[in-house]
Amino acid sequence: MADGTVKTWKDLDRFVKEVYGSPGKDLYDRYVALIEGFKEKYGKAPEIIGRSPGRVNLIGEHIDYEGYSVLPMAIKQDTIVAISESGDDKVHVANLRSGFSEEDFDIDPAALVADTVNHSWVNYVMAAYIGACQYAGQRPTRGLNILVEGQVPHGSGLSSSSALVCASALAFLAMSHTGHLVGAEVAQFTAECEKFVGTESGGMDQAISIMGELGMAKLVHFHPIRTEDVTLPDGAIFVIANSLAVSQKAVSAAKQYNLRVVECRLAAALLGLRLGVSKDKARELRTLREVEDLVREKWNGPKGSVMGAESEVVRKLLDKKVYTHGELEKELDMELEDMFAGNPSQLASIKAAHDRDVGGFNLRDRAMHVYSEAARVLEFKAACDSPTLTSEQQLEELARLMDDSHASCRDLYNCSCDELDELVRVCKKAGARGSRLTGAGWGGCTVSLVPQDKVEQFIAEVKREYYMAEVNRKGGLPKEEVKKDGKKVVLWEKDG
């Protein structure tokens, strides 16, 4: 959370260099465009600009909301939010890019509700506003003018949503003179407040967006949020490639993302029951991480930890792959609609599954994924830290873990899609040692570990094999850009 007072264009130049680690005329120009756009729209310069980046998750998918540590890094692509006081009592929100609605909302945070059916991008700004008012313990007495500029491609699994929430929250806090900000606290409240938009997310994206550092991956722990630095081995270049399939997470939450959160909660309840806790207690279990503690206390079957791909416990206790709505209600001795009544987003997922008559919940595979993925994250960190492995051996281990992670996301968690699987295949063929989907999945990006000396060749081949094939299929040419983030990330995105 770098901060600085910018009074002149020269200050701005220095600030941009400091934040992004490399002089970039395009970056400087972007701030100028935001300031000029703001003046044009609202008649005066902004008082504050909040900034927060997107992220790429190297490993640890769909386990943050289960309480397990993840290993992301921030990317250079970010969202910047310019703000100043307005003359009235509304918060006015606009976007510098075209194609975004312009909206107002009330300055009383208690009056705000998110329309999660007709989802709007302004919900994220609203979420940050509510969170920041709560954190600051006050709300503004005057209205605000806001202009946003975001570079993180939408629905790409690079967390454009959290970049917007975090940048907005920082801008609001600065406007309310909240004083010294503690990164972990801001990460915590932004993770909570983003749920306002209707996704039951964990805290990974907000944590790395707020607490990420240039040139450094982080192991992010939860409850409470804290991070450990991860130094990646020499020769590790992570290349992000966009599958161009847009993952509309907030829109399809009930059938995809939130449904997974629900399935994990049901798996935890069932595992709890079968470990001998009471029905009341089992229904109160929220995460698979809580079950891990129960296993330590109560499991007296064959040895072998709950973690890892060979989770003896899950295999033995969840003897069937799929459990139907009715079976679960019988075992838990409660209607699922009642069990989830306290959480509208989760309840919507239960209802959507019921309405669609999906036949049941694949609890064993979901739990297998979570425990094995949690173990892979720790192995990834251990390989990075290993004093005995050569860099070559480290890279080999990271690549294996990334490949296993993708297979688990695809086969056990069912959060991949044809485009992502095809892109992973192309990336591997083009020389990636390991490749996997990153972020929630169902579209969005892959991240590949590519040997340093093969990056150019890799990009050329992926362009030919994936993007040209896409162009032929879709009949248009995506605008491509290649950008370097510090030493480690090359982002390849389709603009807009």
Instruction: Pick one of Mg ion, ligand NG1, none as the site partner of residue 199 (Cβ within 5 to 8 A by kind).
Output: ligand NG1
Please tell me the distance from the alpha carbon of residue 477 to that of residue 56, in angstroms, as a whole number: 25
Which lies closer to Mg ion via its Cβ, residue 86 or residue 161?
161
Please tell me the distance from the alpha carbon of residue 243 to that of residue 493, in angstroms, as a whole number: 9
Candidate list 64, 205, 404, 485, residue with the active-site label: 205
CB atoms within 10 A of CB 194: 28
Instruction: Pick one of ligand NG1, Mg ion, none as the site partner of residue 62 (Cβ within 5 to 8 A by kind).
Output: ligand NG1
Residue 345: which of 440, 265, 442, 258 has the closest Cα? 258
Which lies closer to ligand NG1 via its Cβ, residue 199 or residue 446?
199
Which lies closer to ligand NG1 via its Cβ, residue 80 or residue 204?
204
Q: Select the span of 117-125, 151-159, 282-290, 328-336 touching Mg ion (CB under 5 A).
A: 151-159
Contact in structure between 268 and 291 (CB atoms under 8 Å): yes
Residue 34: which of 165, 150, 126 has the closest Cα? 150
Strands 48-59, 71-85: parallel, antiparallel or unpaired by DSSP? antiparallel
Provide the binding-site residues for ligand NG1, judged by CB under 6 A: 57, 61-62, 64-65, 157, 159, 161-162, 194, 199, 201-202, 204-205, 249, 439-440
Please tell me the distance from the alpha carbon of residue 16 to that of residue 21, in angstroms, as a whole number: 8
Minimum distance from residue 59 beta carbon to Mg ion (Å): 18
Site size with Mg ion, rule: CB under 5 A: 2
CB atoms within 10 A of CB 389: 16
Report the residue number whose CB is nearest to ligand NG1.
439
Instruction: Pick one of ligand NG1, Mg ion, none as the site partner of residue 76 (Cβ within 5 to 8 A by kind).
Output: none
Which lies closer to ligand NG1 via its Cβ, residue 201 or residue 362?
201
Minimum distance from residue 201 beta carbon to ligand NG1 (Å): 3
Which lies closer to Mg ion via its Cβ, residue 253 or residue 377?
253
Which lies closer to ligand NG1 via its Cβ, residue 61 or residue 493?
61
Which lies closer to ligand NG1 via its Cβ, residue 309 or residue 389?
309
Please tell me the distance from the alpha carbon of residue 272 to that of residue 299, in angstroms, as a whole number: 10
Which lies closer to ligand NG1 via its Cβ, residue 95 or residue 405?
405
Please tell me the distance from the alpha carbon of residue 459 to that of residue 84, in angstroms, as a whole number: 42
Minimum distance from residue 157 beta carbon to ligand NG1 (Å): 4
Q: Select the span of 113-121, 153-161, 400-408, 477-485 touching Mg ion (CB under 5 A).
A: 153-161
Secondary structure of residue 72 in the 3-state scheme: strand
Strands 103-106, 217-221: parallel, antiparallel or unpaired by DSSP? unpaired
156-175 footprint of Mg ion as x/- string (CB under 5 A): ---x-x--------------
Please tell me the distance from the alpha carbon of residue 128 to that of residue 337, in angstroms, as a whole number: 30
User: Cβ contacts of residue 241 below 8 Å, gap of 6+?
Assistant: 423, 427, 445, 446, 448, 462, 466, 492
**Using rule CB under 5 A, residue 247 touches Mg ion:** no
Minimum distance from residue 94 beta carbon to ligand NG1 (Å): 23
The yes-or-no answer on residue 355 being catalytic is no
Minimum distance from residue 163 beta carbon to Mg ion (Å): 9
Contact in structure between 120 and 101 (CB atoms under 8 Å): yes
Which lies closer to Mg ion via its Cβ, residue 159 or residue 168?
159
Instruction: Pick one of ligand NG1, Mg ion, none as the site partner of residue 263 (Cβ within 5 to 8 A by kind).
Output: none
Please tell me the distance from the alpha carbon of residue 258 to that of residue 198, in angstroms, as a whole number: 9
Query: How far is CA 45 from each of CA 40, 49, 104, rounded to the nearest angstrom?
Result: 9, 10, 19
Look at the alpha carbons of 403, 367, 249, 152 in this order and tell me if their dihedral is positive or negative: negative
Helix axes 204-211, 183-193, angle to 10 degrees: 150
Minimum distance from residue 181 beta carbon to ligand NG1 (Å): 20
Contact in structure between 413 and 133 (CB atoms under 8 Å): no
Instruction: Pick one of ligand NG1, Mg ion, none as the site partner of residue 194 (Cβ within 5 to 8 A by kind).
Output: ligand NG1
Residue 490: which of 457, 443, 441 has the closest Cα? 457
Instruction: Pick one of Mg ion, ligand NG1, none as the site partner of residue 204 (Cβ within 5 to 8 A by kind).
Output: ligand NG1
CB atoms within 10 A of CB 483: 16
First to last CA, the chain: 27
Minimum distance from residue 207 beta carbon to Mg ion (Å): 13
Minimum distance from residue 252 beta carbon to ligand NG1 (Å): 11
Minimum distance from residue 113 beta carbon to ligand NG1 (Å): 19
Active-site positions read 205
Interaction site with Mg ion (CB under 5 A): 159, 161
